[in-house]
Structure 1
Protein backbone atom coordinates (compact mmCIF):
# COMPACT_ATOMS: atom_id res chain seq x y z
CA UNK A 1 0.00 0.00 0.00
CA UNK A 2 1.45 3.33 -1.05
CA UNK A 3 1.16 6.29 1.33
CA UNK A 4 0.36 9.72 0.00
CA UNK A 5 3.21 12.19 -0.01
CA UNK A 6 3.12 14.70 2.85
CA UNK A 7 4.88 18.04 2.49
CA UNK A 8 6.94 18.71 5.62
CA UNK A 9 8.15 22.13 6.69
CA UNK A 10 11.15 22.87 8.94
CA UNK A 11 9.09 22.66 12.13
CA UNK A 12 7.66 19.26 11.11
CA UNK A 13 11.20 18.03 10.46
CA UNK A 14 12.37 19.31 13.86
CA UNK A 15 9.41 17.60 15.53
CA UNK A 16 10.20 14.33 13.75
CA UNK A 17 13.91 14.56 14.55
CA UNK A 18 13.16 15.18 18.23
CA UNK A 19 10.65 12.31 18.42
CA UNK A 20 13.05 9.96 16.64
CA UNK A 21 15.68 10.79 19.27
CA UNK A 22 13.23 10.42 22.18
CA UNK A 23 9.72 9.18 21.53
CA UNK A 24 8.86 9.52 25.22
CA UNK A 25 9.46 13.24 25.41
CA UNK A 26 6.54 15.27 26.78
CA UNK A 27 4.63 17.57 24.47
CA UNK A 28 5.84 20.50 26.60
CA UNK A 29 9.50 19.54 26.16
CA UNK A 30 8.95 18.87 22.47
CA UNK A 31 7.29 22.27 21.98
CA UNK A 32 10.19 24.04 23.68
CA UNK A 33 12.72 22.11 21.62
CA UNK A 34 11.10 23.04 18.30
CA UNK A 35 10.15 26.59 19.19
CA UNK A 36 6.37 26.30 19.50
CA UNK A 37 3.82 26.57 22.26
CA UNK A 38 2.18 23.38 23.46
CA UNK A 39 -1.13 23.52 21.54
CA UNK A 40 0.29 24.11 18.04
CA UNK A 41 2.98 21.50 18.68
CA UNK A 42 0.41 18.91 19.76
CA UNK A 43 -1.75 19.77 16.73
CA UNK A 44 1.22 19.21 14.39
CA UNK A 45 2.11 15.89 16.06
CA UNK A 46 -1.50 14.70 15.69
CA UNK A 47 -1.55 15.74 12.01
CA UNK A 48 1.71 13.83 11.42
CA UNK A 49 0.16 10.77 13.11
CA UNK A 50 -3.09 11.04 11.11
CA UNK A 51 -1.16 11.39 7.84
CA UNK A 52 0.79 8.21 8.64
CA UNK A 53 4.14 10.02 8.82
CA UNK A 54 4.38 8.92 12.47
CA UNK A 55 3.29 5.28 12.40
CA UNK A 56 3.63 4.58 16.11
CA UNK A 57 5.82 4.66 19.18
CA UNK A 58 7.90 1.75 20.45
CA UNK A 59 10.56 0.80 22.94
CA UNK A 60 13.73 -0.30 21.13
CA UNK A 61 14.82 -3.53 22.82
CA UNK A 62 18.38 -4.86 22.66
CA UNK A 63 18.04 -8.27 21.00
CA UNK A 64 21.07 -9.73 22.81
CA UNK A 65 19.67 -8.63 26.18
CA UNK A 66 16.57 -10.75 25.56
CA UNK A 67 18.55 -13.81 24.42
CA UNK A 68 18.08 -13.30 20.67
CA UNK A 69 21.67 -12.45 19.70
CA UNK A 70 21.68 -14.10 16.26
CA UNK A 71 20.64 -12.15 13.14
CA UNK A 72 20.30 -14.11 9.93
CA UNK A 73 19.81 -12.50 6.54
CA UNK A 74 17.95 -14.83 4.22
CA UNK A 75 17.66 -14.50 0.43
CA UNK A 76 14.73 -16.38 -1.02
CA UNK A 77 13.90 -17.21 -4.61
CA UNK A 78 10.40 -18.37 -5.47
CA UNK A 79 9.57 -20.90 -8.18
CA UNK A 80 7.23 -18.35 -9.83
CA UNK A 81 6.86 -14.61 -9.37
CA UNK A 82 3.12 -14.39 -9.99
CA UNK A 83 1.18 -11.94 -7.88
CA UNK A 84 -0.74 -14.61 -5.96
CA UNK A 85 2.47 -16.46 -5.00
CA UNK A 86 4.15 -13.21 -3.93
CA UNK A 87 1.10 -12.23 -1.87
CA UNK A 88 0.85 -15.67 -0.24
CA UNK A 89 4.55 -15.64 0.69
CA UNK A 90 4.34 -12.11 2.11
CA UNK A 91 1.21 -12.87 4.13
CA UNK A 92 2.74 -16.02 5.62
CA UNK A 93 6.11 -14.59 6.66
CA UNK A 94 4.40 -11.48 8.04
CA UNK A 95 2.87 -13.69 10.73
CA UNK A 96 6.19 -15.17 11.90
CA UNK A 97 7.57 -13.35 14.95
CA UNK A 98 11.19 -14.29 14.13
CA UNK A 99 11.04 -12.25 10.91
CA UNK A 100 12.02 -8.70 11.79
CA UNK A 101 12.11 -7.34 8.25
CA UNK A 102 11.19 -8.69 4.84
CA UNK A 103 11.61 -6.95 1.49
CA UNK A 104 10.46 -7.81 -2.01
CA UNK A 105 13.62 -7.31 -4.07
CA UNK A 106 14.83 -6.79 -7.60
CA UNK A 107 17.72 -8.87 -8.92
CA UNK A 108 18.59 -12.53 -8.46
CA UNK A 109 16.41 -13.15 -5.39
CA UNK A 110 12.77 -12.35 -4.74
CA UNK A 111 12.88 -11.64 -1.01
CA UNK A 112 15.42 -10.57 1.57
CA UNK A 113 14.55 -10.96 5.22
CA UNK A 114 16.19 -10.57 8.61
CA UNK A 115 15.39 -13.18 11.21
CA UNK A 116 16.44 -13.13 14.86
CA UNK A 117 16.93 -16.21 17.00
CA UNK A 118 18.65 -17.43 20.13
CA UNK A 119 21.19 -19.73 18.51
CA UNK A 120 21.96 -22.03 15.59
CA UNK A 121 19.54 -24.80 16.70
CA UNK A 122 16.74 -22.21 16.95
CA UNK A 123 17.49 -21.05 13.40
CA UNK A 124 17.55 -24.64 12.20
CA UNK A 125 14.07 -25.15 13.72
CA UNK A 126 12.81 -21.97 12.02
CA UNK A 127 14.25 -23.14 8.71
CA UNK A 128 12.92 -26.72 8.92
CA UNK A 129 9.56 -26.07 10.56
CA UNK A 130 8.57 -22.90 8.75
CA UNK A 131 10.58 -21.63 5.80
CA UNK A 132 11.24 -24.90 3.96
CA UNK A 133 7.59 -25.91 4.36
CA UNK A 134 6.35 -22.95 2.33
CA UNK A 135 5.01 -23.93 -1.08
CA UNK A 136 6.67 -22.24 -4.01
CA UNK A 137 10.11 -21.62 -2.46
CA UNK A 138 12.81 -22.58 -4.98
CA UNK A 139 15.92 -21.69 -2.97
CA UNK A 140 17.02 -20.30 0.38
CA UNK A 141 20.40 -18.73 1.11
CA UNK A 142 21.30 -17.76 4.68
CA UNK A 143 24.02 -15.38 5.85
CA UNK A 144 24.80 -14.92 9.53
CA UNK A 145 25.68 -11.47 10.83
CA UNK A 146 28.97 -11.50 12.74
CA UNK A 147 28.73 -7.97 14.10
CA UNK A 148 26.24 -5.14 13.88
CA UNK A 149 28.18 -2.11 12.71
CA UNK A 150 25.25 0.29 12.61
CA UNK A 151 21.58 0.10 13.42
CA UNK A 152 19.29 3.08 13.59
CA UNK A 153 15.63 3.98 13.38
CA UNK A 154 16.43 7.64 12.78
CA UNK A 155 15.68 8.71 9.22
CA UNK A 156 17.97 11.37 7.71
CA UNK A 157 15.40 14.14 7.38
CA UNK A 158 16.49 17.17 5.38
Structure 2
Protein backbone atom coordinates (compact mmCIF):
# COMPACT_ATOMS: atom_id res chain seq x y z
CA UNK A 1 0.00 0.00 0.00
CA UNK A 2 1.28 3.44 -0.90
CA UNK A 3 1.70 5.83 2.00
CA UNK A 4 -1.04 8.44 2.31
CA UNK A 5 -0.16 12.12 2.58
CA UNK A 6 -2.06 15.10 3.97
CA UNK A 7 -3.80 15.76 0.64
CA UNK A 8 -5.00 12.14 0.53
CA UNK A 9 -6.44 12.57 4.03
CA UNK A 10 -8.21 15.77 2.95
CA UNK A 11 -9.68 13.94 -0.05
CA UNK A 12 -10.82 11.05 2.16
CA UNK A 13 -12.41 13.45 4.65
CA UNK A 14 -14.24 15.27 1.87
CA UNK A 15 -15.47 12.02 0.30
CA UNK A 16 -16.77 10.84 3.67
CA UNK A 17 -18.79 14.03 4.00
CA UNK A 18 -20.15 13.92 0.44
CA UNK A 19 -19.05 11.22 -1.98
CA UNK A 20 -21.40 12.53 -4.66
CA UNK A 21 -19.60 15.84 -5.08
CA UNK A 22 -17.88 16.26 -8.39
CA UNK A 23 -14.14 15.77 -8.75
CA UNK A 24 -13.99 19.40 -9.84
CA UNK A 25 -15.56 20.52 -6.55
CA UNK A 26 -13.26 18.22 -4.61
CA UNK A 27 -10.20 19.49 -6.50
CA UNK A 28 -11.08 23.07 -5.55
CA UNK A 29 -11.38 22.12 -1.89
CA UNK A 30 -7.94 20.46 -1.80
CA UNK A 31 -6.26 23.02 -4.10
CA UNK A 32 -5.32 20.63 -6.90
CA UNK A 33 -6.42 20.22 -10.49
CA UNK A 34 -8.96 17.59 -11.47
CA UNK A 35 -6.56 15.03 -12.96
CA UNK A 36 -4.32 14.57 -9.88
CA UNK A 37 -7.38 14.36 -7.61
CA UNK A 38 -8.89 11.68 -9.85
CA UNK A 39 -5.60 9.74 -9.79
CA UNK A 40 -5.37 10.02 -6.01
CA UNK A 41 -8.95 8.77 -5.56
CA UNK A 42 -8.23 5.76 -7.80
CA UNK A 43 -5.03 5.01 -5.84
CA UNK A 44 -6.87 5.29 -2.51
CA UNK A 45 -9.62 2.98 -3.80
CA UNK A 46 -7.11 0.48 -5.24
CA UNK A 47 -5.28 0.42 -1.89
CA UNK A 48 -8.55 -0.63 -0.25
CA UNK A 49 -8.81 2.42 2.02
CA UNK A 50 -12.23 3.20 0.54
CA UNK A 51 -14.26 0.02 0.78
CA UNK A 52 -17.42 1.27 -0.97
CA UNK A 53 -19.68 4.26 -1.47
CA UNK A 54 -23.12 4.10 0.12
CA UNK A 55 -26.24 6.14 0.81
CA UNK A 56 -26.95 6.64 4.50
CA UNK A 57 -30.65 6.34 5.21
CA UNK A 58 -32.83 7.13 8.19
CA UNK A 59 -34.37 3.76 9.12
CA UNK A 60 -37.19 5.38 11.10
CA UNK A 61 -38.48 7.02 7.90
CA UNK A 62 -38.84 3.51 6.47
CA UNK A 63 -40.82 2.34 9.48
CA UNK A 64 -37.82 0.72 11.18
CA UNK A 65 -38.04 2.44 14.55
CA UNK A 66 -36.39 -0.10 16.83
CA UNK A 67 -32.62 -0.53 17.10
CA UNK A 68 -31.41 -3.33 19.34
CA UNK A 69 -27.90 -4.34 20.34
CA UNK A 70 -27.78 -8.02 21.25
CA UNK A 71 -24.88 -9.55 23.09
CA UNK A 72 -24.69 -13.23 22.23
CA UNK A 73 -22.85 -15.98 24.10
CA UNK A 74 -22.27 -19.39 22.56
CA UNK A 75 -22.52 -22.62 24.56
CA UNK A 76 -18.77 -23.15 24.20
CA UNK A 77 -15.80 -21.84 22.29
CA UNK A 78 -15.32 -24.13 19.37
CA UNK A 79 -14.35 -23.21 15.81
CA UNK A 80 -17.32 -24.99 14.24
CA UNK A 81 -19.76 -23.13 16.50
CA UNK A 82 -18.24 -19.76 15.68
CA UNK A 83 -18.42 -20.61 11.98
CA UNK A 84 -22.05 -21.75 12.27
CA UNK A 85 -23.08 -18.58 14.08
CA UNK A 86 -21.26 -16.35 11.61
CA UNK A 87 -22.75 -18.08 8.58
CA UNK A 88 -26.27 -17.83 9.98
CA UNK A 89 -26.10 -14.27 11.30
CA UNK A 90 -24.88 -12.78 8.00
CA UNK A 91 -27.95 -14.25 6.31
CA UNK A 92 -30.39 -12.27 8.46
CA UNK A 93 -31.57 -9.02 6.85
CA UNK A 94 -32.46 -7.47 10.21
CA UNK A 95 -28.83 -7.64 11.34
CA UNK A 96 -26.86 -4.57 10.23
CA UNK A 97 -23.64 -5.32 12.10
CA UNK A 98 -22.09 -8.33 13.78
CA UNK A 99 -18.79 -8.29 15.64
CA UNK A 100 -16.71 -10.75 17.60
CA UNK A 101 -16.14 -9.20 21.00
CA UNK A 102 -14.01 -9.92 24.04
CA UNK A 103 -15.54 -10.19 27.48
CA UNK A 104 -18.53 -12.02 28.90
CA UNK A 105 -20.17 -12.41 25.51
CA UNK A 106 -18.84 -13.65 22.17
CA UNK A 107 -20.70 -11.44 19.68
CA UNK A 108 -22.40 -8.08 19.49
CA UNK A 109 -25.05 -7.69 16.82
CA UNK A 110 -26.98 -4.59 15.80
CA UNK A 111 -30.54 -5.30 14.71
CA UNK A 112 -33.01 -2.86 13.13
CA UNK A 113 -36.71 -3.68 13.24
CA UNK A 114 -40.16 -2.08 13.06
CA UNK A 115 -41.31 -2.68 16.62
CA UNK A 116 -41.32 -4.96 19.66
CA UNK A 117 -43.53 -7.54 17.92
CA UNK A 118 -40.98 -7.86 15.15
CA UNK A 119 -38.19 -8.11 17.73
CA UNK A 120 -40.05 -10.88 19.53
CA UNK A 121 -40.47 -12.74 16.23
CA UNK A 122 -36.76 -12.25 15.49
CA UNK A 123 -35.73 -13.75 18.84
CA UNK A 124 -38.31 -16.52 18.91
CA UNK A 125 -38.19 -17.70 15.30
CA UNK A 126 -34.81 -16.67 13.98
CA UNK A 127 -32.03 -16.24 16.50
CA UNK A 128 -33.26 -18.97 18.86
CA UNK A 129 -33.09 -21.48 16.00
CA UNK A 130 -29.42 -21.78 16.79
CA UNK A 131 -29.00 -24.38 19.53
CA UNK A 132 -25.41 -23.19 19.97
CA UNK A 133 -26.47 -19.98 21.75
CA UNK A 134 -26.44 -20.09 25.54
CA UNK A 135 -27.43 -16.48 26.28
CA UNK A 136 -28.69 -13.33 24.57
CA UNK A 137 -28.79 -10.00 26.34
CA UNK A 138 -30.51 -7.17 24.49
CA UNK A 139 -30.29 -3.41 24.90
CA UNK A 140 -32.73 -1.10 23.15
CA UNK A 141 -31.71 2.28 21.75
CA UNK A 142 -33.94 5.03 23.13
CA UNK A 143 -32.23 7.89 21.28
CA UNK A 144 -28.91 8.71 19.68
CA UNK A 145 -26.45 11.09 21.29
CA UNK A 146 -23.91 10.86 18.48
CA UNK A 147 -24.28 9.01 15.23
CA UNK A 148 -21.71 9.52 12.50
CA UNK A 149 -20.14 7.45 9.81
CA UNK A 150 -17.07 9.50 8.95
CA UNK A 151 -13.70 8.97 10.59
CA UNK A 152 -11.96 12.30 11.12
CA UNK A 153 -8.38 12.06 9.91
TM range (shorter): over 0.9
Q: CA RMSD in A?
A: 1.2
Unmatched tracts of structure 1, length 5 or more:
none
Q: Tell me the residue number matched to 1:79.
A: 75
Q: Tell me the residue number matched to 1:69.
A: 65
- Cα separation, 2, equivalents of 1:84 and 1:70: 31
- Cα separation, 1, equivalents of 2:43 and 2:125: 43
Q: Which moved more, 1:19-28 or 1:86-95?
A: 86-95
Unmatched tracts of structure 2, length 5 or more:
none
TM norm structure 2: 0.95
Count of residue correspondences: 153
Residue among 18, 37, 43 paired with 1:47 = 43
TM norm structure 1: 0.93
Does residue 1:33 correspond to 2:29, yes or no?
yes
- Cα separation, 1, equivalents of 2:3 and 2:99: 26
Residue among 10, 15, 24 paired with 2:20 = 24
Structure 1 stretches of at least 4 aligned residues deviating more than 6 Å after TM superposition: none
Does residue 1:103 correspond to 2:99, yes or no?
yes
- 2:109 is paired with a residue whose SS is strand
Structure 1 pair 132–53 and aligned structure 2 pair: CA distance change class (3 A): same
